[in-house]
């Protein structure tokens, strides 16, 4: 029987062993209590994976169509800000 495929952040929770630098562990514990630890780590990892999928998609678009123009970049930034209801830091968008 084949294992069921789940999307990022979906499916039943599965116990894993994880080693972290002590400073990272301390930083996480300063943000959440022990009951929220797994959920926090899962959420951060899912966000990172989604970001990588977007990066791969954009890199593929650039390979196929060429660099993104400044005009298109500004439009996309505005659309993202509107969709999220917040302003993305300009320095991040320009990097």
User: Residue 82 sits in which domain range?
Assistant: 35-94
In a domain, 18, yes or no: no
In a domain, 5, yes or no: no
In a domain, 77, yes or no: yes
The per-residue pLDDT for 5 is 93
Structural domain count, the chain: 1
Instruction: Give the separation between CA 8 and CA 11, rounded to whole angstroms.
Output: 9
Q: What is the model's pTM?
A: 0.69
Closest CA to 46 of 8, 7, 6, 5: 8
In a domain, 52, yes or no: yes
Note down pLDDT in tens along the chain; length 95 residues: 678 999 999 999 999 999 999 999 999 999 999 999 999 999 999 999 999 999 999 999 999 999 999 999 999 889 988 888 776 555 455 55
What are the CA-CA distances from residue 69 to residues 6, 15, 31, 58, 66 (Å)? Answer: 35, 45, 39, 13, 9
In a domain, 47, yes or no: yes
In a domain, 8, yes or no: no
Instruction: Give the separation between CA 46 and CA 40, rounded to whole angstroms.
Output: 10
């Amino acid at each position: 029987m084949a294992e069921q495929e789940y999307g990022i952040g979906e499916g039943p929770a599965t116990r894993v062993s994880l080693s972290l630098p002590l400073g990272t562990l301390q930083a996480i514990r300063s943000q959440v209590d022990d009951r929220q630890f797994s959920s926090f780590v899962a959420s951060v990892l899912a966000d990172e994976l989604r970001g990588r999928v977007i990066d791969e998609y954009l890199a593929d678009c650039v390979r196929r169509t060429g660099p993104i123009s400044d005009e298109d970049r500004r439009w996309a930034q505005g659309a993202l800000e509107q969709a999220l209801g917040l302003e993305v830091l300009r320095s991040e968008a320009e990097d």
